[in-house]
Structure 1
Amino acid sequence: MSWLGIWWHDEVVYGYKGPLLLSFTAFVITFVATRTITRLIRAGKGPFHDIDNGGVHMHHSTPGVLILILGAFMAVGSPPLSVWTYVSGVLVGIGASLVLDEFAMLFRLQDVYWSQEGQLSLNVVTLAAGCVGLAAVGVSPVKLDRLAESSNAARLVATVWLVSHLTLVVITALKGKYPMALFGLFVAPITWFGAIRLARPTSPWARRRYSGAKLERAKQRAAAFDERWGPVRRHWDDFIGGTPVSPTPPSAS
């Protein structure tokens, strides 16, 4: 049996990852479709157009919230692994994608979808898709479902390992390396690297523990990192979400 067949057998069929895998697939497809449509609307191409109701612009996060709520209640009210569980997985994926695609607007409470601030949504969607995708394929620092069949010593070792791993995840997050902390939940070596590196100078860890030469070194390293990888990240964000424009200033009430 190929590695793909083994993965499907162990993780999807007997690991009960079918609903999660469907949710992840629906999440990605919905995001790609949504960004394609919104960019066509922005360019004035195709049959798509903004939806206005009595002069009020309808953002796609609105139906996204309703779909997400419907899927969530369907999931908690359905028999395990019934057809409704799979349907709810699809609904949760669609709803979450629509909501997170406008996360920056919800966070700032103004229309920044096409602005530089609006690209926060792309970062959130990328992190969410990465974490859900890793969970869907079965990546985990420890297989907790197998601990019950292990000896007491093995369970103790696994528990110590898990606590240590989560501690490193927290340290990585406190150092301002939030993407590394999220992905490190599933891929442990990422947190090992993040936890031993210098913190971002504006992070809680740096504010409490760094001063003098060490703080200056952290600022220099952060500036060098941003100078090297900032343009790459901006080009990627522009490619996925479209070139940002200056946000429209809010009208006076």
Structure 2
Amino acid sequence: MDVDVDFGLDDTRLTAAWMLGSFLVVFLVTRVIVRMIRAGRGPFRNQAIGGVHIHHLVHGILLMLVAGAGEFLYRPEGAWQIVLAVAFGAGAALTLDEFALWLHLDDVYWSEQGRASVDVVLVVAAVGALLVLGVNPFGAAAEDNAPTVLGSAVITLAFAVTAGLKGKPIFAVLGLVVLPFAIVGAVRLAKPTSPWAKRRYRPGSSKDVRARARFPEGARTRWDAVVDAVGGVPR
């Protein structure tokens, strides 16, 4: 599938830029605050009502609901469109920063499982940057007809889902915008802890042995170092 890149400035990309900027700023500020709370420094404390811890994803969901309703109901232009884009980006940052919580239905923010939140945020930020730059994965197909567009989307989604099942969320999400990422993630060996490996790699089989050798338990990668720098080291 061809990927069109348009370097011309338009309202859509400008709105996307505001949304991405808000997303990044709110995520970074949120991480600074939660790390200060974790260290017991500064004036910030966890929010609680009646003994119930109010996670910041609650505020994020409310912001996205308000921004989405405002966009669909009023279709604003100009400054108000930017306001809604900023609100939605901020809400998405607050919500995805606790992605691991609504994935595991448990407060795993500072655990190893909680690293999934930072993974997702960094990947979404990368996808957002590509969209701001004008990457349009369905640009060529849109000039043809609906069956072509649908077929292209189905193929892309199939590779992306396969990459995700193989434990490659980065390739899966980036692949939704740039197909080669999804293809690479889908055809390469699955991580031994992934759903794909657990169902399709029989214990002791050649693929199982290769997967465990390729992804040894406890191994650290450069991506892990980036995640630690951004989100903090798991406890």
Question: Do Structure 1 and Structure 2 share a fold, with TM-score over 0.5?
Answer: yes
Letter in 2 for 1:125: V
Report whether the alignment pairs 1:179 with 2:176. no
Larger C-alpha radius of gyration, 1 or 2?
A: 1
**Which residue number in structure 1 is paired with residue 228 of structure 2?**
238
Q: Which residue of 1 aligns with 2:130?
A: 134
Given candidates 7, 12, 37, the residue that maps to 2:33 is 37
Distance verdict in 2 for CA 1:160–1:34, change over 3 Å: closer
CA distance in 1, matches of 2:50, 2:158: 52
CA 219–59 in structure 1, closer or farther in 2 if over 3 Å, else same: same
Unaligned runs of 5+ residues in structure 1 are 1-5, 246-253
Counterparts of 1:123 and 1:90, CA distance in 2: 22
Asked if structure 1 preserves the Cα contact closer than 8 Å seen for 2:166 and 2:197, the reply is yes
More deviation, 106-115/86-95: 106-115
Q: Secondary structure at the match of 1:50?
A: coil
Q: 1:222 to 1:92 in 2, by over 3 A?
A: same
Counterpart Cα distance in 1 of 2:152 and 2:41? 54
Residue pair 1:67, 1:91 contacting (<8 A) in 2 also = yes
- 1:240 alignment partner AA: V
What is the alpha-carbon distance in structure 2 between the residues aligned to residue 35 and residue 241 of structure 1? 6
Is 1:65–2:52 an aligned residue pair?
no
User: What SS does the corresponding residue of 2:216 show, helix, strand or coil?
Assistant: helix
Taking the aligned partners of 1:58 and 1:159, their CA distance within structure 2 comes to 41
CA distance in structure 2 between the aligned counterparts of 1:49 and 1:81, rounded to whole angstroms = 38
Cα 1:47–1:189 change in 2 (3 A) is same
In structure 2, distance between residues paired with 1:35 and 1:48: 12
Equivalent pair of 1:35/1:241 in contact (CA under 8 Å): yes
> Residue 115 of structure 1: CA displacement?
1.8
Instruction: Tell me, in whole angstroms, the C-alpha distance in 2 between the residues paired with 1:110 and 1:156.
Output: 42
In structure 2, runs of 5+ residues without a counterpart are 1-5
The percent identity for this pair of structures is 34
1:95 partnered with 2:98: no
Map Cα deviations across residues 45-72 of structure 1 (whole Å, 9 max, x no partner): 2232223334333321121111111111
Match of 1:3 in 2: none
Cα RMSD (Å) = 3.2
Alpha-carbon offset, residue 238 of structure 1: 2.5
Instruction: Name the SS of the counterpart of 1:112 in structure 2.
Output: coil
User: Which secondary structure state, in structure 2, belongs to the residue aligned with residue 218 of structure 1?
Assistant: helix
Distance 1:89 1:171, change over 3 A: same
The aligned residue for residue 214 of structure 2 is: 225
Q: 1:216 aligns with which of 198, 205, 209?
A: 205
User: CA 1:228–1:40 in 2, change beyond 3 Å: closer, same or farther?
Assistant: same
Cα deviation, 1:3-62, whole Å, max 9, x if unaligned, reads xxx83xx1x426x22222211111111110000011111112223222333433332112
Aligned length: 228
206 and 147 in structure 1: CA distance in 2 versus 1, 3 angstrom threshold? farther
